[in-house]
Structure 1
């Protein structure tokens, strides 16, 4: 299965830099569908420290080879701390590094497009933090640019690559809770004053930063794109959405209720409701790496109407893994295939949905 709008065709899985035909070989003990990728990271962001750096280190397919900062001393300090061989004192130097295969971009949102395009121009495959772009038009240009240069572009929604996510997709397909009718998702936390995510010019706002998870969740489990969207928001002094609630409708009778906030206590959960039961998913996008990820299932028993006394409940357990490592290996599989492989996020379709949500909230 492949992701359509974000499809990137490649004639062969190889080093796309001009004048080079160095094929990336399979990594032992991986098979033909896994690749050894040498990674570079643009910027010393918090998400790199707690997410992708340990993810690359824990993956089967990744090797962290370089990191860049506009502060050369900071790049060298991170290089020493994480044993990264080549610290660069500019983003340009990392992108031009001939010994890299893939670049991770965790920069502020307004910098995604220029650096995705620069990395693609240098023949690098790109994993870009969410949201992919500032709007759908910018995302379309990024996707086209990477397609023209024969490199993979993937949006970094790590939660899609959890064993729990794959398992729940299987349970839904198997009819565990009947026909899916509702997806509910909440993600919120209080943000500090002065955070760049409060700046509208930089792509700030709750829906871009955390509401995007709920939209991605609804789209994944509905298996299609929304056909109707309504939303309301509380906008802060800077003009960005501080709290937002949206209702999405999908073909096939599936609804989604999504809320997000920069001014509410921490919440991170989603719920799948079907005609025969419900699945509640705690720690939805940030599951513990050292203990099993859980999902609570309740299915309708012999009762009817409001009688839940006969309902059957159980807990599903899924392997404890580093979801970032899973994402790194999934990215390598997409590179090997020459196209995005499900459940990778289709960044263009996601941005179209996010644009529609925010437009509805402002209407």
Structure 2
């Protein structure tokens, strides 16, 4: 916060902590579904008429740490879904996770979970190379699917999933970019779209952590490890989200770890025609994340753009001229919001917040950055 005050000749104006209801109402709708008034009112109406609120029964493929530590506890607190079953390749592991999370059913195989007729939707946090194959299997079993990012290992593989989803038009599929559903990003997008920073010109973002464990899947190139696949996809996604457009060309630089052949440091420039986005991501730097959005008359800074904490308020800063406003959001869990939005799309038969076409587009940009880093030249995006 100090750099904002020192760089500006004006004062800093701190906004009041937004109450949950106000923060959620301020969220704009994406793709026809939102967590604000409409989605909540539909839930309440259905609950009043039916005695109990309709709920999606979730089945979870794998006991991956991202699920058991973060996503599943958050989804348990959701209003439109319940955790009904979890599966692992080892039944003892599945039973232990089920006991820890209060999930009634545990399966010793993914196939057994998919065969359960009581399961409505699947959450897929499997390793990257298994995202598309098991999401397609879930669709073929008649289940809706919320799949972790990145959706696949390539744009072509993501397109395979689009084709599979088209064969099951009654089922919902979405890539789990949870950050988009947090009120801080909905507000940031609203500020930019309403001209709150003048004309949008450039975005800069940074995301890093340190992990050189040879046994960690993030360091296994053959199954989709590396910085771009794990965290750079967020930098790409948030840039496209705020510009509300696709870049026309990109250029990238990658430093690879000689032990793992993964990209441990990647930087890229995305040309959107009317502006640019730059980012750096790394799996072997001190942990940090930040995003800044700049316009001709102001800027927006997002303090914790991706891993918004579920146990304390988040802040963004909006500078217009010499005035700076701090906007704080009351504590919410973006994973809970994401789960409820996806469940609402199922129960109310509305479009998912983020269509699969977005997943294909994000992967197309990521692949172009890798191609550019290899060739040393700009790579155009059709």
The answer to whether the Cα contact below 8 Å between 1:163 and 1:319 also exists between their aligned partners in 2 is no
State the TM-score, normalizing by the size of structure 1: 0.86
Alignment of 1:1-363 (within 5 A): 3=31, 28=47, 36-150=55-169, 151-194=171-214, 195-237=216-258, 238-251=260-273, 253-300=274-321, 311-335=322-346, 336-342=348-354, 346-363=358-375
How far apart are the structure 2 equivalents of 1:321 and 1:349? 29
Aligned-pair distance for 1:221?
0.2
User: How many positions carry a matched residue from both structures?
Assistant: 331
Greater CA drift, 152-161 or 283-292: 283-292
Q: Which runs of 4+ in 1 moved over 3 A?
A: 1-4, 24-27, 342-345
Q: Secondary structure at the match of 2:156?
A: helix
Provide the C-alpha distance between the structure 2 equivalents of 1:343 and 1:152, rounded to a whole number of angstroms.
9
Deviates more, 1:74-83 or 1:213-222: 74-83
Structure 2's unaligned 5+ residue stretches are 1-28, 33-42, 376-382
Q: Secondary structure at the match of 1:264?
A: strand
Task: Give the distance between the partners of 1:54 and 1:144, measured in 2 at CA.
Answer: 32
Whole-angstrom CA distance in 2 between matches of 1:29 and 1:278: 44
Secondary structure at the counterpart of residue 284 of structure 2: coil
CA 1:267 to 1:343, structure 2 compared with 1: closer, same or farther past 3 Å?
Answer: farther
* Greater shift in the superposed pair: 147-156 or 36-45: 147-156
Q: Which consecutive residues of structure 1, in runs of 5 or more, have no partner in the other structure? A: 5-23, 301-310
Q: Distance in 2 between matches of 1:72 and 1:155?
A: 27
Answer yes or no: is the 8 Å Cα contact 1:26–1:35 preserved in 2. Answer: no
CA distance in 2, matches of 1:258, 1:26: 44
TM-align CA RMSD: 2.2
Secondary structure class of the residue paired with 1:346: helix
